[in-house]
Chains A and B, each alone.
Chain A
Amino acid sequence: MINFAFKLLLNEKKKNIPLTFIFIIIVFLISSLIILTNSLNKITQLQLENQPDITIFNQKAGRNYPILTDIKDEISNIYGIKNIHERVYGFYKPNFHNLDMLIIGFEPFGINVDKNIEKIVTDVNLSSFLEKPSMIISHGLYEIFLQYSTFGYIDSFNFFLEDSTKFKLHINGIIDKNLDIVSDRLVLTNIEYAKKILGYHDSEATDISIDVSNIDEIDTIILKLKDKFPNFLIIKKSDLKDSFKELYSFKSGLLFAISLLLLSTFLLLTIFKSTSMDIKSIKEIAILKAIGWSINDILKLKLTEASIIAIFSFLTGFLSAILYLKYLHGAFLIDIFTNSININSNIKIQIFLDKFTFFSLFFLFVFSFILINIIIAYKSATTNIKEILN
């Protein structure tokens, strides 16, 4: 049966090759979109997992203002708080390459509440931070600096401060490509220098981050914080996760619409292909019936034919999507996600593929294709054959 199905498919190359090609393309696009969404969402959630339990901002009318670091003493009096850190970060925009650098301050010899930064600075020679003002930059930024090496950006960069004076930071290290998820325009420097570049006073920070001893007490601690600082915005990690989830669900909604469009095209093509069953195929079914094949035998043949096309196309499209995401890092498609949020556009995508996604896609494509083909074949197989054969 399988041999015969193969032979019949090969005899109809002109019809089956374009159909298989379209099938592969649609599976590839939808699989890429869905796997990419899942993977980025998972990566972001993992990154957010490393964020502090509570973050306090000085927000007025929806805008963030520097927060005074002396509130740390007041906060430390609240029972259940494990550690408190001031964090300094923000964007710096030099006058070239339409560049937005993300400046993040860290404590070279202190504890950094952000575990991502801890990971990044582990392998850096921190003692050189004491010798001269230095920074660690992301790989993406280093590549941009290389383009401007004639300006001397090969081992250092001059930042313009608020008073228009220059402040030079030496490049002390380049972040491993695999780690720089936060941004590929990232500058990590001593918190003092970060304040200088971003225009903060010594007693100011971007936010205050807090870790708690017992996670079950977060809500109580937040209530106490709100009581002490009613004008500050206090966010817990789970809120941050939810806000990213919302962002992704918006993006996913967009992708869902695209996927739906592609899927509709696929179904229409499948239905069109099947309903426009040419007289040759109908005659083939009639001959098979005339020589003693039962309707079940014919449906088995059509099931085999449809399964060969569907499984081959699905696996080819799906594996192509995996290879595309793994080796081409989702080029072009990833821009849909990274244009509006600050996610590194050169990141290596870690593919998170769960069984549910695989089997959902498998059933969506393979099952629907086979089902439509079987319905149409059944219709032909139950038609009176005498007119077709005479």
Chain B
Amino acid sequence: MINIENVTKVYQNGFEALKNVNLKIEKNGIYILKGVSGSGKSTLLNLLAGFDKPTTGKIELLGEFISKLPEHHMSKFRLQNIGFIFQSFNLFSELSIYENLQIPLIPLNLNTKLEKELIETLIHKYNLSDKQHQITKKLSGGEQQRVAIMRALINNPKIILADEPTANLDFNNKMIFLEMIDSFKKDKIIFISTHDDIFNDIVDVKIFNINGGIIC
């Protein structure tokens, strides 16, 4: 389902962030990419999300070679198949939880009833029903993280990518995050880039270590 073959990424300044990376993921579950700052984990995540293209090599997601996809096809692919969770959440801070969850659905032009059903089911599942019309900048860090996860899940993508998702959370909220991802690991590939050791304790987690642009 994810196949990375001989991927190299060299930035314009000549820095080689990834060196001939090969990685294959064939079943759903949680996958951790661990490495120190500057090791190349964010670069790899950006390539998987299609935010950037590799200098050489191929990236195949769900049978689609995304490294070759033109921008407009990549957007569609991303909308249908990839959910992204950011370290700093990247929510629309002046909009409510409900409105933030509407955003990924807008390009799909769903009918209002279906849209409402999808959003309310998710909000209810993650216990934020009482705050659904509250603007997100007034939520706690943990709650904002939950909204970010819900936004990544709203289109029911097959792949969830998360970049340092626990970096801004306290211990309790980290545990809530782990519970959340554990609840949907059977249906999705969850690929997390992190240097947080908290993921070491989860069972059934595959950990890749990256260092100097090479996966060990």
Contacts and interface: CB of A to CB of B under 8 A. Distances in A.
A237 B99 CA distance: 68
Which of B52, B102, B106 has most A Cβ within 10 Å? B106
Interface of A: 1, 4, 7-8, 11, 283-284, 287-297, 382, 384-386, 389-390
B102 A4 contact: yes
B11 to A, nearest CB: 11
Nearest to B135: A11
Nearest to A11: B94
Interface residues on B, range: 20 to 34
A294 to B, nearest CB: 4
Contacts of A289: 75
B77 to A, nearest CB: 8
Nearest to B52: A386
B107 interface: yes
Interface string B36-49: 00000010001001
Contacts of A294: 71-72, 75-76, 79, 107
Contacts of A295: 71-72, 75
Determine which residue in A1, A287, A288 has the highest number of CB atoms from chain B within 10 A of its CB, and name it: A287
A289 B46 CA distance: 13
Nearest to B154: A291
Interface string B55-68: 00000000000000
Contacts of B75: 289, 292-295, 297
Contacts of B76: 292, 294
B92 interface: yes
Given A293-B79, A384-B51, A386-B46, A288 B71 contact: no
A284 B92 contact: yes
Given A283-B90, A292-B79, 6 more contacts: A4-B99, A290-B90, A292-B76, A293-B106, A382-B71, A384-B51
Interface stretch (B80-88, B172-180, B208-216): B80-88
Contacts of B49: 290
B84 A296 contact: no
Contacts of A296: 72
Contact of A291 (B42, B46, B95, B151): B151
A116 B84 CA distance: 77
Nearest to B42: A390
